[in-house]
Copies of this chain bind each other. A is one copy, B any other.
Amino acid sequence: MATKESPRPGGRSARVQASVHKAVQTLLATLERTEVTVPLIAAEAGVTPSTIYRRWGDLQELLADVAVERLRPDMVPVDTGSFGSDLMAWAEQYAEEMSSGPGREMIRDVLAAQDGSGAYQCCNFTRQQIEVIAERAEERGEVFTDVEAVMDGVVAPIMYRILFGGAPDAAHVERLVTASLASKPAP
């Protein structure tokens, strides 16, 4: 989407993107999802609706774009001393954040977009967080669970239940992590 091309002639590009993103966040914080429209966002951002349509295509793509930015992790997983407790702490926080109203809406926005790249990015944000935990474990000389096994055993069940059923409770998350630690100790 935002490829690495060097900025070409003509763009107020970055400025508009920033104000539109901010406008979306402001409006989402205030109004119901169904009340947030492109013309409203345009007015709030001080741009023309056609600018938004031409840059993003439609409301869903814009909402997805904003949601991906907001889902980008802003901190490194806390270091609690071991792979197991790092993963447990991370998973608990992840489940809580994603289960929250705003979390669920952001995930929904990302998945609703036609362009699947947002979902892929989010998945990678998560994978990278786990890789950080794994790399620390490796530096400590620990035996630790394969990253893809954690994706399957911890991340996927949490996300599945948030999306398709009730959010998993803390005990469930703890069980998932424990099982993952026990089952596949291999890199």
A residues adjacent to B (C-beta < 8 A): 33-34, 60, 108, 111-112, 114, 119-120, 122-123, 151-153, 155-157, 159-161, 163-165, 176, 179, 183-184
Contact = CB atoms under 8 A, between A and B. Distances in A.
A163 B108 contact: no
B165 A123 contact: yes
Nearest to A183: B183
A152 B165 contact: no
Contact of A155 (B34, B60, B160): B160
Contact of A164 (B33, B34, B123, B161): B123
A111 B163 CA distance: 7
Contacts of A108: 111-112
A106 to B, nearest CB: 13
Given A34-B114, A152-B153, 19 more contacts: A60-B112, A108-B111, A111-B111, A111-B112, A119-B164, A120-B164, A120-B165, A122-B164, A123-B164, A123-B165, A151-B157, A152-B157, A152-B176, A155-B160, A156-B159, A159-B160, A163-B163, A179-B183, A183-B183
Q: What is the predominant secondary structure among interface residues of chain A facing chain B?
A: helix
Nearest to A112: B112
A146 to B, nearest CB: 11
A122 B160 CA distance: 12
A58 to B, nearest CB: 8
Contacts of A179: 183-184
Nearest to A148: B172
5 smallest CB-CB distances across A and B, nearest first, come from: A156-B160, A123-B164, A112-B112, A152-B157, A156-B157
